[in-house]
Copies of this chain bind each other. A is one copy, B any other.
Amino acid sequence: MIYLKNRKVMSDRMRTLKYAILGLINRGSMTGYDLMKVFNMELVNFWYAKHSQIYPELKKLSDEGLITYETVLQGEKLEKKLYSLTEAGKEAFLNWLAKQDLLEPTPKDIFRLKSYFIESMTKEEILSQFNYQLDQRKEKLKKLEATMIEHPYAKGIIDIVTPEYGDYIVLKGAIMREITYIDWLTECINEIKNY
């Protein structure tokens, strides 16, 4: 009945970057550059994107009527685009947020993959590999904990209906995850050492 030329429906897939951007702009107007910084500094523990992905996505969201921008000057000549949500954009974001999701596939992990192949390594190689990972993970945990002690929530402010509460719970989750990874590495190292 319907001729399938130009079938643009094709299902929306996940489009997670789309909603991540909408959610961030919902917190307040931002430029593409701002988004890039937030992704790669604040959200980096659960989502991120390069500017080469962000700028085309912003273009697309504009075309879809979910965001608009005004051009503002930074200094004398430098133009930047300050994006805000449209009503449609806000609605799209809230619908995405409220939707209940099935578990995603378990994230891929190259080091776990290498661990799976552990029999093809010598004891020295194994310990060297695990210790190298352990050092890096400990370093990472240290940074996360340093961020945490600076956080208003760690200082006893308890209001759940603020953006800071979201920041706080995902940071706490990142720390717990990191500690568990370290525990796993440590247990493996001890077991292998004593073999």
Contact = CB atoms under 8 A, between A and B. Distances in A.
Contact of A166 (B108, B115, B170, B174): B115
Contacts of A188: 169
Secondary structure of the A contact surface, majority rule: helix
A117 interface: yes
Q: Place the interface of chain A in its size category.
A: 35 or more
A153 to B, nearest CB: 10
Interface string A154-187: 0000101111011101101110110111011001
Please tell me how many copies of the chain the complex holds.
2
B46 A118 contact: no
Interface in A25-81: 26, 43-48
Contacts of A184: 169, 172-173, 176-177
Contact of A192 (B110, B114, B160, B163): B160
Interface of A: 14, 16, 19-20, 23, 26, 43-48, 93-94, 97-98, 100-121, 123, 125, 128-129, 132-133, 136-137, 140, 158, 160-163, 165-167, 169-170, 172-174, 176-177, 179-181, 183-184, 187-188, 191-192, 195
11 contacts: A14-B110, A47-B109, A47-B113, A97-B120, A100-B132, A118-B165, A160-B191, A172-B184, A176-B180, A177-B177, A180-B180
